[in-house]
Structure 1
Amino acid sequence: MKILAIASEGGHWVQLLRLTPAFKGQELSFMSTNPDISATLKDYTYYRVPDANKGTKFKLIHCFFHVAWVVFRQRPKAIITTGAAPGLMGIIAGRLIGAKTIWIDSIANAEQLSLSGKIARYFADRVYTQWSNLATNKIYYKGNVLS
């Protein structure tokens, strides 16, 4: 199965990489905001997209078009993300092509879902939290990535 894994750099990226063994045997590619990351992913296709956040609204639009271009061109069967904005853009674009979409909220969000996670609830097929106290009937807890 063709899977696109998306995360911003930093903690989101570290958490996403911890999931890589779960996709053994699949056609996995990655997307992030740091051009230097590609050197660490020799066995995978890597797409760099511009970074954006709620404070850079015009960059969010630019980011969405970059992410959507890759999603529409590659047509992954599933998109998984640990956040933040580029992952949310991937979830939205993925829904437009009928891909299965999974949002895993960052372990750093212990008190409430991240802003992107709150938005992702409306677009993602599945939303996971890494904190049991944040689980609901629509937000799932199955443990954490950084155990």
Structure 2
Amino acid sequence: MGRFRMKVALVGSSGGHLTHLYLLKKFWEKEDRFWVTFDKEDARSILKNERKYNAYFPTNRNIINLVRNTFLAIKILFKERPDVIISSGAAVAVPFFYLGKLFGAKTVYIEVFDRIDKPTLTGKLVYPVTNKFIVQWPEMKRVYPKAIDLGGIF
């Protein structure tokens, strides 16, 4: 009998956030997966053989692209129906986490390594709806009491 393959959505900005998610390859490489990130050179290069959806950017404090990415999330989540959504930020994760809950997906957020004792805006926004919230510094447990401290995971 074969093992169950999860459908995983890996959602994040390009750059460091995308790199963080890609470094989790041992977890996602045998799963049915898709990516949501920006159509930038690093994403095109790293994800050249992956199924990818392009999110709208810039996202930081950009209401228009938040609305556009919300409609994109509805479309993608309705089509793909992931079992779990994983993100390490940034803002593109917010509509996917909130809407993903409505679609029955579990959510896992990984607060970035360079935040030692202060939260990111995205972390603060998704914390209330995240099933597993992972931090990489013990000091962050004061910021996110329900978080799991895995230490440096990258």
SS at 1:29 equivalent:
strand
Corresponding residue for 1:85? 91
TM-score, normalised to structure 1, is: 0.90
Corresponding residue for 1:73? 79
Aligned 8 A contact 2:14 2:40 in 1: no
For 2:70, which of 54, 64, 70 is the aligned residue?
A: 64
Distance 2:113 2:39 in 1: 21
SS at 2:128 equivalent:
coil
Corresponding residue for 2:153? 145
Corresponding residue for 1:7? 12
- How many corresponding residue pairs? 145
Distance 1:34 1:140 in 2: 31
Paired AA for residue 113 in structure 2: I
In the TM superposition, residue 35 of structure 1 has moved relative to its aligned partner by: 4.2
In the TM superposition, residue 72 of structure 1 has moved relative to its aligned partner by: 1.7
Aligned 8 A contact 1:67 1:86 in 2: no
Corresponding residue for 1:97? 103
What is the root-mean-square deviation of aligned Cα atoms in Å?
1.5
Corresponding residue for 1:22? 27
In the TM superposition, residue 119 of structure 1 has moved relative to its aligned partner by: 1.2
In the TM superposition, residue 101 of structure 1 has moved relative to its aligned partner by: 0.5
Stretches of structure 2 that go unaligned for 5 or more consecutive residues are 1-5
Name which of structure 1's ranges 63-72 and 77-86 shifts more when overlaid on structure 2. 63-72
SS at 2:129 equivalent:
coil
In the TM superposition, residue 39 of structure 1 has moved relative to its aligned partner by: 4.1
Check 1:5–1:97 CA distance in 2 against 1; reply closer, same or farther (3 A cut). Answer: same
In the TM superposition, residue 29 of structure 1 has moved relative to its aligned partner by: 1.2
In the TM superposition, residue 47 of structure 1 has moved relative to its aligned partner by: 0.8
Aligned 8 A contact 1:130 1:144 in 2: yes
Aligned 8 A contact 1:67 1:90 in 2: yes
In the TM superposition, residue 112 of structure 1 has moved relative to its aligned partner by: 1.3
Corresponding residue for 1:32? 37
Q: Which has the larger radius of gyration?
A: 2
In the TM superposition, residue 111 of structure 1 has moved relative to its aligned partner by: 2.1
Displaced runs of 4 or more, over 4 A: none
TM-score, normalised to structure 2, is: 0.86
Give the fraction of aligned pairs with identical amino acids, expressed as a percent.
25
Distance 1:8 1:129 in 2: 18
Paired AA for residue 149 in structure 2: Y
Corresponding residue for 1:113? 119
